[in-house]
Structure 1
Amino acid sequence: MSQDGIELETSLGFLLKEASSALRFAMEAELRPLGMTVTHYSCLELLAQRPGLSNSELARGAFVTRQSMNVLLQALERDGQVARPAAARVGKVLPTQLTPLGRKRREQASQAVRAVEVRMLAGVTPEDQAGAARILRSMIRSLVGDGADGNDGAEAGDSGLGQ
Structure 2
Amino acid sequence: MSIRKMSASSGEGWIGYSLKIAQHRLRQRLEAELAGTGVSASQNAVLLAIGDNPRISNASLARAAFVTPQSMQGMLVTLERDGFIVRTPHPDHGRIIMTELTDKGSAAAQAGMLAAEAVERQMLADLTGEEARLLGDLLRRCADALERT
Aligned counterpart, 1:80:
83
1:88-107 → structure 2 map (5 Å cutoff): 89-90=92-93, 92-107=95-110
Structure-2 change in CA distance of 1:116 and 1:5 (3 Å): closer
Q: Of the two structures, which has the highest relative contact order with CA contacts closer than 8 Å and spacing of 6 or more?
A: 1
How many Å apart are 1:91 and its aligned residue?
6.9
Gaps of 5+ in 1: 149-163
The whole-number CA distance in structure 1 between the counterparts of 2:91 and 2:18 is 43
Could you tell me the percent identity over the aligned residues? 34
Q: Deviations over 1:59-103 (max 9, x none)?
A: 011100111111111111122211222468547442322222211
The whole-number CA distance in structure 2 between the counterparts of 1:123 and 1:5 is 27
Instruction: Give the number of aligned pairs.
Output: 145
The whole-number CA distance in structure 1 between the counterparts of 2:128 and 2:24 is 22
The whole-number CA distance in structure 2 between the counterparts of 1:89 and 1:9 is 57
The whole-number CA distance in structure 2 between the counterparts of 1:97 and 1:14 is 38
1:132 aligns with 2:117: no
Gaps of 5+ in 2: none
Aligned counterpart, 2:63:
60
Greater strand content: 2
The whole-number CA distance in structure 2 between the counterparts of 1:126 and 1:101 is 35
Runs of 4+ aligned structure 1 residues displaced above 3 Å come to 2-7, 86-93
1:70 aligns with 2:76: no
Larger Rg: 2
The whole-number CA distance in structure 2 between the counterparts of 1:52 and 1:143 is 30
- TM-score relative to the length of structure 1: 0.79
1:13 to 16, 23, 45: 16
The whole-number CA distance in structure 1 between the counterparts of 2:145 and 2:117 is 28
The whole-number CA distance in structure 2 between the counterparts of 1:65 and 1:4 is 32
How many Å apart are 1:5 and its aligned residue?
5.8
1:141-156 → structure 2 map (5 Å cutoff): 141-144=144-147, 146=148, 148=149
2:98 alignment partner, SS class: coil
Q: Deviations over 1:28-74 (max 9, x none)?
A: 11112222211111111112233321211100111001111111111
Q: Deviations over 1:122-142 (max 9, x none)?
A: 111111111111101101110
Structure-2 change in CA distance of 1:79 and 1:14 (3 Å): same
AA of the residue aligned to 1:64: V
The whole-number CA distance in structure 2 between the counterparts of 1:139 and 1:66 is 25
